[in-house]
Structure 1
Amino acid sequence: MFWHVGIPNFGDDINPDFFERISGKRIRLTRRRDRLHFLGIGSILAKATGASTVLGSGFLVPSDSTPTMPRAVVALRGALSRAALSSADDTLLGDPLALADRLIARPARRRGIAYVPHCRNAERAKRLFADSIAVIDPRRPPLDVIADIAASEAVISQSLHGLIVADAFGVPNLWAAPHDGMKGRFKFDDYFSTLDRPKEAHAETAELMARPPMAAFSVGRFLHDKDRLAEALAQASVEGPRQ
């Protein structure tokens, strides 16, 4: 399986844990995208080759050129990625972490409101906001990050997968606007296309962290069949990349 490896980030690093749990098979990272492989969770669809089987990946930004068609598509993150890839209208949609509530049980213990910054913004967020709000560092082990989000009373998240996990567990959440290094909102809108309504971005400010507008928090309702998504991802993971 191929996934993004760089600055530690739970939304990328969760790939082996997630797919091993749903398939019962060992998942190994590959750099050889010229050989048959899976593309896993993340904004990595532009990395697809003719040897890729896509398991819920999406595009980071819309492409100016015609993207490479993967060998097979089991699921895509959202409708924007489906349109950009010119995939069939009946393609399964859903980020795999929309199934995060099937990875672990929601902890009984509740913490207060927490903030999940983007991984590149984690140190700055802790420095600026830790006195006002609990900061969940997305660079920590992925299952620990998921458990912390699930245990929160509410979540502000600049991280896409922070929002996805919060929605999966029914934790009210609010979107902190992406910073300049995050390349815009395409991946967010791609995910929002699978929900009953989009989320509104709020500027990441000290005021937001100290006095979050509770009326603006919401839980996105996933519009697609989670059982069907889970079954398709599990079956593909067991069978291996499409020949």
Structure 2
Amino acid sequence: MPNFGDALSRLVVAHLSGREVRHAGPGQADLYAIGSILQIARRKYSEAKTYAQKPVIWGSGLLHAVASTEFLSNVNIALLRGPITASLLGVKTQRFGDPGLLVADVLAPAPSKTHRIGLVPHHSQMEDPEIQTLANSSEEFLLIDPRQDPATVCGQISACDHIYAASLHGLITADAYGVASTWVSPGDQGHLKYYDYAASIGRVLISPLAWDQIPDHLRNNNQPAELAYGAGIARAQADLRNSFPARLRAEQNTGTA
């Protein structure tokens, strides 16, 4: 099922490569970018054989620990999403980043703020009655559906003063636009990917709020003028730009990605 992270991946990779981006199966892809998709790479490339072209891992992460890491010799790692993924794989590196942090290079922010609070559920939570009731309780709230066109989602996130998000890329997009954000429970989704991303930029994440805690959190929360981990975001953005594989750029290759 296509999701917001998939859509951002296509946009960001097309922007940096200057090329058309076309979805391909795990055995034909040149690049693994946004998402907790390294389990897929492990399954596909664990066999010891000579591969015509090793795929590049750029900003991908793990969803959970893996039993073996033999696949690493059959892929080229340009960048991993975060230090938890690196630790679980036994990869020694000091550079990390989720490519979603570059979305502001592709899509300009909204021209003005329209709402005080944006609510970004995980796509599986969009019909949750509790979230719908919360969103309808005040005109200050904008319920943002991450299944929409990415330009719409990014515009709505950047038009808010504060984002409460269960969607990982809701949080990442807010960071990309310098919008303060708070992590909210993603339901049955695992938490590793959130901690992995947060550690990549030096962001402190303790545990997510429950959706019914948002009104109290709003009353007791002073909005910071700037993100405390802004330097970590800038470092990750630089690492992402500098690590994008040169062989996949348009001037190096006239095919499709």
Q: For the superposition of Structure 1 and Structure 2, which TM-score range results when normalised by the shorter chain?
A: 0.7 to 0.9
Give the CA deviation at 1:21: 1.5
Give the CA deviation at 1:150: 1.2
2:98 aligns to what? 95
For residues 133-179 of structure 1, what are the alpha-carbon distances to aligned partners after superposition, in whole Å with 9 as ceiling and x for unaligned? 21100000112211211111110000111111111211011110221
1:83 aligns to what? 87
Q: 1:216 to 1:20 in 2, by over 3 A?
A: same
2:209 aligns to what? 203
Matched, 1:176 2:170: no
Distance 1:68 1:93 in 2: 20
- The partner residue of 2:6 within 12, 15, 20 is 12
1:3 aligns to what? none
RMSD between aligned alpha carbons?
A: 2.4
1:22 aligns to what? 16
2:147 aligns to what? 139
Kept in 1, the 8 Å contact 2:171–2:183? The answer is yes
Distance 1:149 1:36 in 2: 30
Distance 1:214 1:166 in 2: 21
Q: Which runs of 5+ in 1 are unaligned?
A: 1-5
Give the CA deviation at 1:203: 3.0
For residues 97-137 of structure 1, what are the alpha-carbon distances to aligned partners after superposition, in whole Å with 9 as ceiling and x for unaligned? 11222122222210221100001111216533221321100
- The partner residue of 1:40 within 33, 36, 40 is 33
Distance 1:170 1:159 in 2: 17
Q: Which runs of 5+ in 2 are unaligned?
A: 46-53
Q: 1:211 to 1:196 in 2, by over 3 A?
A: closer
Matched, 1:52 2:80: no
Distance 1:84 1:216 in 2: 36
Distance 1:115 1:214 in 2: 18
For residues 79-108 of structure 1, what are the alpha-carbon distances to aligned partners after superposition, in whole Å with 9 as ceiling and x for unaligned? 011111222324x31000112221222222
Corresponding residue SS for 1:56: strand
**TM-score, scaled relative to structure 2:** 0.80
Deviates more, 1:92-101 or 1:122-131: 122-131
How many pairs does the alignment contain? 231
- The partner residue of 1:123 within 123, 127, 147 is 127
Q: 1:127 to 1:68 in 2, by over 3 A?
A: same
Q: Which amino acid aligns with 1:45?
A: L
Distance 1:67 1:195 in 2: 28
Quick check: which has more Rg, 1 or 2?
Answer: 2
Identity of aligned residues (%): 28
Give the CA deviation at 1:47: 1.0
Distance 1:126 1:61 in 2: 27
